[in-house]
Amino acid sequence: MDLQILLLLGQDGITNGAIYALLALALVLVFTVTRVIFIPQGEFVAYGALTLASLQAGKVPGTVWLLLALGCTVAVLDGIRLVREGRFAKLPPLLIFNIGLPLLAAAGLFAMPPTQLPLAAQVVISMLLVVPLGPMIYRVAYQPLAGASVLVLLIVSVAIHVAMIGLGLLFFGAEGSRTPPFTELSFELAGAPLQGQTILVVVASASLIIGLYFFFERTIYGKALRATAMNRTGARLMGIPPVLAGKLCLTLAAAIGAFSGILIAPITTIYYDSGFLIGLKGFVGAIIGGLASYPVAALGAVLVGLLESYSSFYASAFKEVIVFTLIIPVLLWRSLTSKHIEEEEE
């Protein structure tokens, strides 16, 4: 192995690690705020990438129908409650946000073929189609069970994951897609070629992480999420509705997932079921951070990316074995060094 191979592998590992880091952060965020182990995180990656790909292929992505169906379900669920409580004034915004906007999106896609739009506009449309799925899923699946045990919430997550994979196959078909690169630039670094797209992934991930930091430190919503993560009951007493916190953090998780998908779609082929494995590697990173610490989770995810890259060189047949076996020593170390505190039942 010479220096060039070392550099190329490192570059590859950091690119993948950056994506895993984003997903690890989203997983930690969702877990600390809602105690949900968000297995469908990876599906948002696939949905984001494939929605963009179908827009570029001139097809109406199936995500529109899912958005519409979920929107209607949310509208019915919340509508019944509002009518019962006699809060009619809240009905119009509910209907506009959950049915009106998805309908508008569907109509817009049929009226104007998105193939002619610039790439940036296509990215925005894909994000707008995928991200609202997050809070809607929270409303339909998690909100009625918000007080349930971690295990019940995990089972719900598995159910959503399986449902989303099945729908993904229906929407996008069995074959994968790639999107054209955002940039064709290419550099030379110490004799090793460096693709512009790779730099873009790393820079975009890093700036998103910095953005998240400022969101949590400086904005009232970010602080509300942190408060909920620290102490759910306390935050509630301070007037932070847990429903708002839940919806907000799933919106963030969906946005991070979809954005990661759009970032990696030009580098690799994405399938309807690719998201799970990517999400799982983010999860390994999150586990290294004990599902609590953001910086450790991000570093852990980058470590996973590097480990994956180097093991694919040395022992390609055992790559996944090596990556996922990493969990065992990490768990051992964590259980020996940290004091175990029983989760308080609410």
Partner 1 sequence: MLKKLTLAVLATVSTAALADINVGVSVSATGPAASLGIPEKNTIALLPTTIGGQKVNYIVLDDATDPTAATKNIKKLIGENKVDVMIGSTTTPNSLAMMDVAVDNETPLISMAGSAIVVEPMDAKRQWVFKTAQNDAHMATAIVQHMTDKGVQNVAFIGFADAYGEGWFKEFAKIAEARKLKVVASERYQRNDTSVTGQILKVMAAKPDAILIGGAGTPAALPQKALKEKGYKGLIYQTHGVANNDFLRVGGKDVEGAFLPVGPMVVAAQLPNDNPVKKSALEYVTKYEAAHGKGSVSSFGGHAWDAGVLLQNAIPVALKKAQPGTKEFRKALRDAIESTKNLPAAHGIFNMSANDHQGFDQRARVMVTIENNTWKLIK
Smaller CB separation from partner 1, 12 or 98? 12
Task: State the nearest-atom distance from the C-beta of 291 to partner 1, in Å.
Answer: 23
Residues 72, 78, 81, 82, CA torsion sign: negative
Taking a C-beta distance cutoff of 8 angstroms, is the pair 23, 255 a contact? no
Least distance CB 149 / partner 1 (angstroms): 30
Contact 176, 270 (CB under 8 A): yes
Shortest approach of partner 1 to residue 174 CB, angstroms?
Answer: 3
CB of 166 to partner 1, least distance (A): 7
- Measure the CA angle with vertex 337, ends 336 and 343; round to 5°: 85
Report in angstroms how near the CB of residue 170 gets to partner 1 at its nearest. 9
Residue 143 or 177: the one with the smaller Cβ distance to partner 1 is: 177
* Rounded Cα–Cα distance for residues 213 and 291 (Å): 17
Q: In angstroms, give the least distance from the CB of 220 to partner 1.
A: 37
| In the complex, minimum distance from the CB of residue 178 to partner 1, in angstroms, rounded to a whole number | 5
Our CB check for partner 1 shows the closer of 34 and 309 to be 309
Q: Least CB distance from residue 127 to partner 1, whole Å?
A: 20
Nearer to partner 1, 259 or 294 (CB): 259
Alpha-carbon distances of 137 from 38, 41, 156, 275, 280, rounded to whole Å: 11, 12, 11, 17, 20
Burial 125-153 (b: 16+ CB within 10 A, else e): bbbebbbbbbbbbbbebbbeebebeeeeb
Nearer to partner 1, 70 or 264 (CB): 264
Judged by CB, which is closer to partner 1: 249, or 265? 265
Parallel/antiparallel/unpaired status of strands 192-195 and 186-189: antiparallel
Q: Is the dihedral of CA 61, 134, 66, 171 positive or negative?
A: positive
Q: How far apart are CA 187 and CA 312, in angstroms?
A: 24
The residue (of 41 and 311) whose beta carbon lies closer to partner 1 is 311
Nearest-angstrom CA–CA distance, 224 and 302: 28
| Crossing angle of helices 3-34 and 294-314, rounded to 10° | 140
CA distance 314 to 247: 43
> Residues 6 or more apart from 133 whose CB is under 8 A from it?
44, 47, 63, 66, 67, 70, 254
Pick the closer one to partner 1 by CB: 108 or 191. 191
Q: How far is the CB of 182 from partner 1 (least distance, A)?
A: 16
**Closer residue to partner 1 (CB): 19 or 64:** 19
**Which residues bind to partner 1, rule: CB under 8 A?**
5, 8-9, 12, 15-16, 166, 169, 173-178, 193, 195, 264, 267-269, 271, 273-274, 277-278, 308-314, 316-317, 319-320
Helical ranges in 86-118 per DSSP H: 91-95, 101-111
Containing H/E element for 193?
strand 192-195
